[in-house]
Amino acid sequence: MQKRATARPEIPQDELRGKCQRHLTRLGLGDFDLEAHLRWAREAKATELESIERLLAAAAGFKLARSIDWRFERSGLKVKKTLAAFDWLFQPKLDRRTVESLFDLGFVARHEDVLITGNTGTGKSHLLQALLLKACEKELPVRYARCVDLVDDLYAGLADGTYERRMRAWCRAQLLIIDDVGLGQLKRRGDEPTAAHMLFTLLDRRNMNASTAITSNLQLSAWGKYLGDATLAAAVLDRLAANAIRIDIDGPSYRQHLARVRAGTQTGALPDSSAPAAQVTP
């Protein structure tokens, strides 16, 4: 005798909607607009596969955005800068092609370093901060610190016995940005290692294993005095000279430009207090 196919009991639409919404929430996609998606599928007469693909693409997009935010929040950087917001016309002498080529992040894959020098206010930090955001978008492990804060962190490690753990943490990032070498007073305490010793150890361990990008408004010849040890500072610069992409920004200060715009005196020149730009060779 032939068996009659038993009809599958239909789940009420409202119940299904509720279930979908709970699944979405469980996956962290509570903001996904399910009704809008269903409307789109109806109006576009989408196939089942097209509908699923669009749903998964939205889910992947949400996940990526969360990953970027998470990486950025943990990086140590507070402000978001982008290359799109950088006014190239203001810095006509800047080598735009070299700067833009950094943003494919090939140098991180090649474990190369970056050293950007130039007068104060010329956009050195802006460029590396934009680079950090780009690296977050590529889901790379990144960390950012101003030089004084990094050195302070390591000094704190000497005080509480966590120096090695902290040093290893700074070494882990695939891209480490050390911003503003030359700005702020570096502490020096008795017989403890100098900032030059710490930076040397850090760069030596990272050398050829991971990328370090640095900005400085100091002439390279002044690094020894600033870091507290001329020989070690020379060793730091030697490593950078061998492996770093060098960019020098020889131009006006954007901060002063903004100050003039704010004051409404585009033509009135403010005194330029900046030091001369650093030279290429250490």
Binding-site ranges for ligand ATP (CB under 6 A): 81, 85-87, 90-91, 120-126, 180, 183, 215, 217, 254-255
What's the gap between Cα 151 and its chain centre? Answer: 19
Q: Is 264 left (phi over 0), alpha (psi -120 to 50) or beta?
A: left
Do residues 87 and 254 make contact, with C-beta atoms less than 8 angstroms apart?
Answer: yes
Q: Which of 123, 115, 121, 118 is nearest to 87 (CA)?
A: 123
Binding pattern for the stretch 23-52 against Mg ion, x by CB under 5 A and - elsewhere: ------------------------------
User: What is the smallest separation between the CB atom of 181 and ligand ATP, expressed in angstroms?
Assistant: 10
**In what helix (H) or strand (E) does residue 178 lie, and over which residues does it extend?**
strand 175-181
* DSSP-derived pairing of the beta strands 211-216 and 244-249: unpaired
User: What is the smallest separation between the CB atom of 173 and Mg ion, expressed in angstroms?
Assistant: 19
Largest CA distance in the chain: 101
87 binds, among Mg ion, ligand ATP, none (CB under 5 to 8 A by kind): ligand ATP
Report the residue from 153, 180, 229, 248 that binds Mg ion according to the rule CB under 5 A. Answer: 180
11 binds, among ligand ATP, Mg ion, none (CB under 5 to 8 A by kind): none
User: What is the smallest separation between the CB atom of 95 and ligand ATP, expressed in angstroms?
Assistant: 13
Of the ranges 58-66, 130-138, 164-172, 178-186, which one interacts with Mg ion (CB under 5 A)? 178-186
Binding pattern for the stretch 98-137 against Mg ion, x by CB under 5 A and - elsewhere: ---------------------------x------------
What's the gap between Cα 94 and its chain centre? Answer: 21
Q: CA–CA separation, 81 vs 125, rounded Å?
A: 9
Chain residues that interact with Mg ion, rule: CB under 5 A? 125, 180
